[in-house]
A and B are shown apart, each in its own frame.
Chain A
Amino acid sequence: MHRRIIALVVAAALVGGVVGAWRGSPAAGQVVGVLRTPLGGEPPTADPYFATDFSSGDLSFLMYTTLVGFDSKGRLVPEGARSWEVSPNGLVYTFHLRENVRFHSGRKVTAADWKWSFERMGDPALRTSVADVVLAGIEGYDAQQKGAPGLAGIKVVDPMTLQFVLNPKARGGFLNRLAYYAAVVLDRDVVEKGGKGWYESRDAGSGPFMLREWVHNDHVTLTSDPHYFLGAPRIARVEMPIVTQATTRLSEYQAGQLDLVQVPLADFQRIKAHPALGKELLVFPRAQIIWLGPNPRVYEPFKDARVRRAFAMAIDKSKIARTVFFGFYQPAASIVPPGIPGFYSGYRGLPYDPEGAKKLLAASPFAGKLPPLVIAMNPIAQDYQMAAEAVAAMLKDNLGVDVRLQKTEFANFQQGMNRRTVFPAFMTGWAADYLDYSDYLDLLLYSKSPLDRVSYANPEFDRLVDEANAAPTEAARTSLYHKAEALAVEDAAIVPIVFTQFALLKKPYVQGLQTTPALSGWLRFNTVSVQR
């Protein structure tokens, strides 16, 4: 009897302890000055030069510094550089660095650090994922790829002055490319002493937050750097639990375990109508397009522009935006989304015209004998699959084509799309890495781009893009880009479906968050404060 009482007491204490601990973890997070926001998956890396997915990208963005950045309106702002000058011929960029930028080790960031970092980025032995985007226009980049030591076009004028010399055939938008979250400076000591996985235990950055703890497949914790050059962050820590399911992230937000999450589209309406959550919802344009890629190399009829155009005109984008996406997304007439400077507003694109589409198809040699079409769907977001389902039904109804859909695993999809000889058509999306036209037209449709998965290869389009990139003024560049864009849309090289939006849920006690159409929807958290 006595023993049983002791056992009961012990059991009660254990249960109490477990419950206490379970309650304790959110309570510990409620200390003022901690922001909790999830990562959608285990980051494959924390080396910014390899960070092309959202988890690694989010981490890099918070811990590292670029020369220039963009504000919440998409305007370029000074970041690691205090100011810059461009030579009259547009080929020499001179940056004056800020005096107070320091690595997390305390060492001052100098022009030599930038040069070393960018040379590492371009190192052909390393084959970083971002070199082509950031460095391609710099003089000496091609030579470096062929084995020349260093990057001749980057010059250290003095410890606080850095110069870039571009080659005359440079691709435009150089400043915007420097604002790419991956174009950052690295602490050479950390990278060289840390070996292959140098980023696992500490970062090499100079951003507002630094890596404190990374428990794989569980969470990442960042602490603020009180010496951050734009002023010490107003929160002590950023806690980023890794939560792979969107619905779980939402439940955790509702349970008060997270302070900032993205809302999956399926829950938009419910949350908007919710009396409490509706007030915590932020909806704003995202620089992302969902598009259908017709692949002429696999599906013979797509070689005929009339067939592609007929397909584009048989898709009721407005209806898709209104019903499938609950009116939260807007129908896309053009390719480059709003939020990118120079957005082609007012352009109508191809109309929804099923009768006209039928006539176009009838005029082509494929009339009445279109083989079944398989559309592969990018599995990374449910949005793409929803668009594909609706498009398939519309093509079947309006053109009588037998359209089937194919779900594949993400790596498989990515590989198949990039090889260009696998999928007859695919539904996917493209979101901004940096806010510039070149991030869309040059990458997705220019004939020499490795990402031109629809094998567009139209010399007229290439010429317009080349001219745009060599244009003397921004206005001239934009107008040439618009011509190229209209050409691609009317050729139906790709079929734009919708421009998307961000929907974030943010607790009312989180203040000072700056949003952006790019990345995950927010700028660095150094302006954020958490006040309960």
Chain B
Amino acid sequence: MPPSIPAFGTDLSIARPGVRMPRAPALLRAVRRDWPGAAAAGVLALLVALALGAPWLTGYTYDRQDLDHAFQGPGRAHWLGTDQYGRDLLTRLLYGARVSLTVGFSAVAAESIVGVAWGTVAGFYGGRLDAALMRVVDLLIAFPSLLLAVLVTGIFGPSLVTIVLALTMTAWPAMARTIRSEVVALRERDYIEAARALGARPGRMLVRHLVPNAVHLLAARATLDVSALILTEATLSFIGIGVQPPRPSWGLMISESFQFLQSHPYLVIVPATALCLTVVSFNVVGEALTERLDPRQRQRG
């Protein structure tokens, strides 16, 4: 072995010590590699913590009015000030986060279950079953999603459960289509062929081989979907068919304060900023996950 090779390697590590980090923890390494993703994940973790802690953090309830102290700016008693009914803005913001996250996560969980089941079955069995299942998906995707959500909440009346139901109905077909396309590709791989040759039953192949190999798509897609669903919930609440007052939701807070846009713009800016930050964070984390979890993309990076 020529002596120059280890020497070359040593030289490199001295010249650029930051590159190798042989003993740095994995988390830190991940942060260095993708700091926007890490920052976004941090924002989301903080948000979840704040939302969970909402009842204990501020000392106010979201619907407690103090009409004589409306429109107060940020201060010691109310860290973010009060709204047009003298309600504590921070409390409402945190409870709004609860609504957004609850709706976003539960709708994504529901759409994932339906979408993955639908997509893998269609992709794995193929043929007529696939065609039939995917035509249903096409039909639902062709239908404008906001309109479908409006329809569902219109029929069942506005409540958190119907909002989740409506959002799930609008989101799962796209998930099913993504998963199916992946499964169709996986189906032809050698290891599936091998499993089949060994006499594995279709159900076992689905659960043990296909679903785990499509899960990276699921994780990335689901994270991106959370942001879209939070935005849809805000839209529904903004137009008045989502969360009902006095319970807060960011969309509803924007809608209720919208008339004060010129006189007290702060009341709109606060929930709008929270919404924006959350949606962007979910998107950034979703992108980061797509890169990290997809083996093909990882090679490129």
Q: Which residues of A come within 8 Å of B, CB atoms?
A: 246-247, 250, 264-267, 269-270, 319-320, 323-324, 379, 382, 385-386, 388-390, 392-394, 396, 404-409
Contact = CB atoms under 8 A, between A and B. Distances in A.
**Chain A binding site: helix, strand, loop or mixed by DSSP?**
helix
Given A407-B245, A409-B241, A270 B65 contact: no
Interface in B133-175: 158
A79 B64 CA distance: 53
B84 A407 contact: no
Given A246-B259, A266-B260, A385-B256, A393 B63 contact: yes
A312 B260 CA distance: 29
B262 A405 contact: no
Given A250-B262, A267-B259, A389-B85, 10 more contacts: A264-B259, A266-B262, A323-B68, A382-B259, A389-B65, A393-B63, A393-B64, A393-B85, A406-B158, A407-B245
A250 B240 CA distance: 23
Contacts, number: 69
A382 B85 CA distance: 14
A269 B263 contact: yes
B85 A324 contact: yes
B70 A323 contact: yes
A386 B256 CA distance: 9
B263 A266 contact: yes
Contacts of B246: 389, 392-393, 404-405
Please tell me the size bucket of the interface on B. Answer: 20 to 34
Nearest to B264: A266
**Chain B binding site: helix, strand, loop or mixed by DSSP?**
loop
Nearest to A322: B67
Contact of A407 (B63, B241, B260, B263): B241
Given A269-B263, A270-B262, A324-B67, A408 B84 contact: no
A390 B66 CA distance: 10
Residue from the set B64, B67, B70, B256 with the largest chain A CB neighbour count within 10 Å: B67
27 contacts: A246-B259, A247-B258, A247-B259, A247-B261, A250-B262, A265-B259, A267-B259, A269-B263, A324-B70, A324-B84, A379-B240, A385-B245, A386-B84, A389-B65, A389-B245, A389-B256, A392-B63, A392-B245, A393-B63, A393-B65, A393-B85, A404-B246, A405-B244, A406-B244, A407-B244, A407-B245, A409-B241
A385 B68 CA distance: 18
Interface string B25-54: 000000000000000000000000000000
Contacts of B260: 266
B240 A407 contact: yes
A406 B243 CA distance: 9
Contacts of B259: 246-247, 264-267, 382
Nearest to A406: B244
B67 A267 contact: no
B63 A404 contact: no
A270 B86 CA distance: 18
Contacts of A388: 245
A390 B261 contact: no
B237 to A, nearest CB: 9
Nearest to A374: B244
A408 to B, nearest CB: 7
Given A393-B85, A407-B241, A267 B263 contact: yes
A392 B85 CA distance: 12
A405 B249 CA distance: 14
Contacts of B84: 324, 386
Interface string B248-275: 0000000010111111000000000000
A396 B258 CA distance: 26
A496 B259 CA distance: 24
A407 B239 CA distance: 9
